[in-house]
Amino acid sequence: MIEEEFWNNLKRFTNARIGLRNSGTSISTADQLKFQLSFAEAKDAVHKELDEALICEQFAGQGLPMYFMQSQINNKFQFLYRPDLGRKLSASSVSLLNNLNTQPSDIAFVICDGLSPTAIHHHAFKFLTEFMSKNIAYTYSSLSVVRYGRVAIGDEIGFLLKAKLVVVLIGERPGLSAPDSMGIYFTYNPKPGLTDESRNCISNIHKNGLSYSQASEKLSVLVCESLKRKISGVYLKDRPDDYNLLIP
């Protein structure tokens, strides 16, 4: 009983599989079934398709022009095996952006399905609503929604939209405790060909991870510093003292 209480207390602080019960030489049936359910949820999240109709419905009153586009990937199987093609826009999507006659802006938002469209369905709208309501001083470009997109595709979109900074919301690789975790990546002065050291990342946005308000505060501080200092990536650090700054 004492041992059970010990593990139950620890479980209040983590979703990790700790203190699993035994049944003979194996774990208990209940814990085994929970593991299989989590594994199935993670697989479902990866193979789920982006629900464009749902995103249209969610963002209908947001006020940003919204455009749907696609990477150079044609299907989910190809997406999983050719990440390089997921980093580049299709020819039709490039043409779409080139014909928008876009004016320069501070921030361009990009939503990508990534490895968990479920995360985008659950969190993208709520997070952006939180962030934009607290950052009204910036100018925003149109909202780009990309099917079969990887992180780096945002740099090409930000470049074509003439944005000072691109912010990519993307479904992260599902784990056994979080099949719907969303990540945020942003790049100052985006352009095709940039690599990971040019970007900053805020990860683990889900019900048991970072809240929308916490992630919004982090992004607000980093975006403010990025635009002021004209840097991002390894040159821009997430420092706790910065959270005392006044955000525009």
pTM for this predicted structure: 0.88
pLDDT digits (tens, 9 = 90+) for 134-176: 999 999 999 999 999 999 999 999 999 999 999 999 999 998 8
d(CA 118, CA 204): 14
The CA distances from residue 15 to 12, 35, 38, 162, in Å, are 8, 12, 11, 42
pLDDT at 1 over 60: no
Mean pLDDT over 39-60 rounds to 93
pLDDT digits (tens, 9 = 90+) for 67-113: 999 999 999 999 999 999 999 999 999 999 999 988 999 999 999 99
What domains are there in the chain, each with its CATH number? Answer: 52-244 (3.40.50.11240)
Q: Which pLDDT does position 248 carry in this prediction?
A: 41
* Helix/strand/coil for 144: strand
